[in-house]
Structure 1
Amino acid sequence: MNIHHLNCGSVREIEATYDGPPPAHAVNHCLLIETGEGLVLVETGLGLGDVRDPDGTLGTEWVEMARPVLKEEETAIHQLQRLGFSASDVRHIIVTHLDVDHCGGLPDFPDAKVHVLAAELEAALAQAPSRRYRPAHWAHGPAWATYQPADASQEKIRDWYGFTAIHPEGLPEEILMIPLGGHTAGHAGVAVRDGDRWLLHCGDAYYYHRELQPSPHPHPLLDIVQTSSEVHHDLRLGTQARLRELVRDHGHEVTAFSAHDPWEFANLSRS
């Protein structure tokens, strides 16, 4: 599989908490995966509708908080087209959760099957419209595929480095959904085999690379965002602790990254 790292929606500029990295816009880190049976998107970031009508689709409150740059050339559909693909080439989309900045591009790929944990979809449909969930992002009626991680009897449930892993229907075995609770009702990471290593897109399970250090060091601004949007504080912290153990014990096999850290994105997009 060929894997592309895409920033599908720059938001407010932030600074690192130590000398060295220059200030950078936080990103919406997406993956485009070329498989033998079409394209898979992990996350969509912001879509064309968000760029053209941000207050209407994203909501004024979220726009004022996140300060999105709103460039059409950053949308996933434009980046795919520059790579020579079309919207119809995207067969599957996996979203870590349905916050506005993670699924805003869904309407740009109306024919794709959208994979999400069942609890997340249930929460989104029940709570929208809100700052977190915006119904414009699924008004086109996606073909949802939902999963219950607690149902260990399912053949698609397996162990992955001590985490529960779900093999999404119709996708290669090298792509897995990893429930990472605490941020939303049904938040998940996505593991993708990349040669002899795994990539683990952690979504919003953490926000800043120094949170995975042995002595975690949150980013002061990003920490406000993650603590104000969590649905379960202890579960979120427990998830981060497990991710630190994963990096400590299996960092030679697994590269973990978050959805919004611009310095992680820069390192991975250059590799």
Structure 2
Amino acid sequence: MKMHFLSGGRLRMRKSVYFPSAEKGETFELPVICTLLKHEQGNVLFDTGCSPDAAENGEERWGGMVKVMNPIFRPEDAVTGQLDKAGLTPDDIDVVICSHLHADHCGCNAHFRKATIIAHAAEVAAATAENGPAMGYLPVEWDQPQGFDAFEGQRDLFGDGRIILLPVPGHTPGMTSALVTLDEAGEFLIASDAIAVEANLTEGYAPKNSWDLEKANIAIEELRKIGERGAQIIFGHDDAQWNRLRKGADFYA
């Protein structure tokens, strides 16, 4: 199995959301990460990042959300413009895994019409609830014709231990991380927003934009233990780590 990290866009946000000591008006840039897994049973994309339409007109696509999460990328920097670096097109993707259904993580779902879309049942319930839009779930991004293959508990995607989905509620009700095992590079824990930046792990606190801070902190500790056993943790939006990772055509095996 090969693993490619691909750009899913880029955002500007208030730094204090992730770093409590930051000045009130301070902002910072953060990457959106998509993970492509070329498994012998199919091509899997963990998170689809931001829609290219958000790059062209963020306010039209996301409405008032751009005040707290401002897209600052080119359309070609969405994952739909990056897949060709790994030799694929959207129609080559067999499975899309949604870590959660916020707009910066499922924004390109509409481009993967041939894929099965997987998300935790609690996340689907949160997105489809009456107050879903107020909680950051935008139907234009998550509501796709093929619906969801919803799951509960842990899920071994192909039954071989290579891609195991781990429910870690806290950032959202159905937040999901993935434990990926490669032959040469070993284990990677794709944390997504369960651990958005390294400081959440090293300093032991959940970001302010968590649905449930207590559960989010429990999730961080659960994932910390997996990291302590040897898995390399890939944070959801850590720019310093993003700059160190192999990306695009370069891969881990």
State TM-score, norm by structure 1.
0.78
1:161 match: none
2:73 match: 70
2:23 match: none
The farther-off stretch of 27-36 and 93-102 is: 27-36
1:201 maps to a residue whose letter is I
Q: Which of 113, 116, 119 pairs up with 2:116?
A: 113
- Deviations, residues 94-120 of structure 1 (Å, cap 9, x unaligned): 111001111011011122111110010
2:62 match: 58
Q: Which of 77, 93, 97 pairs up with 2:96?
A: 93
2:199 maps to a residue whose letter is R
Following the alignment from structure 1 to structure 2, what is the Cα–Cα distance between the partners of residues 178 and 140? 23
Following the alignment from structure 1 to structure 2, what is the Cα–Cα distance between the partners of residues 146 and 66? 27
Following the alignment from structure 1 to structure 2, what is the Cα–Cα distance between the partners of residues 69 and 5? 19
Displacement of 1:92: 0.4
- Deviations, residues 54-80 of structure 1 (Å, cap 9, x unaligned): 223322x22122221131111111111
2:220 match: 240
Alignment of 1:193-204 (within 5 A): 193-196=181-184, 197-204=186-193
The farther-off stretch of 171-180 and 192-201 is: 171-180
2:198 maps to a residue whose letter is H
1:266 maps to a residue whose letter is N
Stretches of structure 2 lacking an aligned partner (at least 5 in a row): 20-26
Cα RMSD, aligned residues only: 2.5
Whether the 8 Å contact between 2:6 and 2:83 is mirrored in structure 1 is: no
Q: Decide whether aligned partners of structure 1 residues 245 and 192 sit closer, same or farther in structure 2, where only a CA change above 3 A counts.
A: closer
1:35 match: 39
Percent identity of equivalent pairs: 23
- 3-state secondary structure, aligned to 1:58: helix
Stretches of structure 1 lacking an aligned partner (at least 5 in a row): 18-22, 150-164
Displacement of 1:83: 3.3
Whether the 8 Å contact between 1:57 and 1:134 is mirrored in structure 2 is: no
Displacement of 1:28: 0.8
Q: Decide whether aligned partners of structure 1 residues 84 and 246 sit closer, same or farther in structure 2, where only a CA change above 3 A counts.
A: closer
Q: Decide whether aligned partners of structure 1 residues 5 and 24 sit closer, same or farther in structure 2, where only a CA change above 3 A counts.
A: farther
Displacement of 1:240: 1.4
Following the alignment from structure 2 to structure 1, what is the Cα–Cα distance between the partners of residues 95 and 87? 18
1:20 match: none
2:4 maps to 1:4: yes
1:63 maps to a residue whose letter is V
The farther-off stretch of 35-44 and 177-186 is: 35-44
2:203 maps to 1:262: no
Whether the 8 Å contact between 2:117 and 2:149 is mirrored in structure 1 is: yes
Q: Decide whether aligned partners of structure 1 residues 178 and 140 sit closer, same or farther in structure 2, where only a CA change above 3 A counts.
A: closer
Alignment of 1:45-194 (within 5 A): 45-59=49-63, 61-126=64-129, 127-130=131-134, 132-149=136-153, 165-168=154-157, 173-194=161-182
Whether the 8 Å contact between 1:57 and 1:137 is mirrored in structure 2 is: no
Between 1 and 2, higher relative CO (CA 8 Å, sep ≥ 6) is seen in 2
Displacement of 1:26: 0.6
Q: Decide whether aligned partners of structure 1 residues 115 and 29 sit closer, same or farther in structure 2, where only a CA change above 3 A counts.
A: same
State TM-score, norm by structure 2.
0.84
Following the alignment from structure 1 to structure 2, what is the Cα–Cα distance between the partners of residues 25 and 245? 28
Q: Decide whether aligned partners of structure 1 residues 137 and 113 sit closer, same or farther in structure 2, where only a CA change above 3 A counts.
A: same
Displacement of 1:246: 2.8
- Deviations, residues 32-72 of structure 1 (Å, cap 9, x unaligned): 1112243210001112233344223322x221222211311
Following the alignment from structure 1 to structure 2, what is the Cα–Cα distance between the partners of residues 239 and 203? 12
2:210 match: 230
- Deviations, residues 194-223 of structure 1 (Å, cap 9, x unaligned): 22511111111122213323xx166xxxx6
Following the alignment from structure 2 to structure 1, what is the Cα–Cα distance between the partners of residues 70 and 61? 14
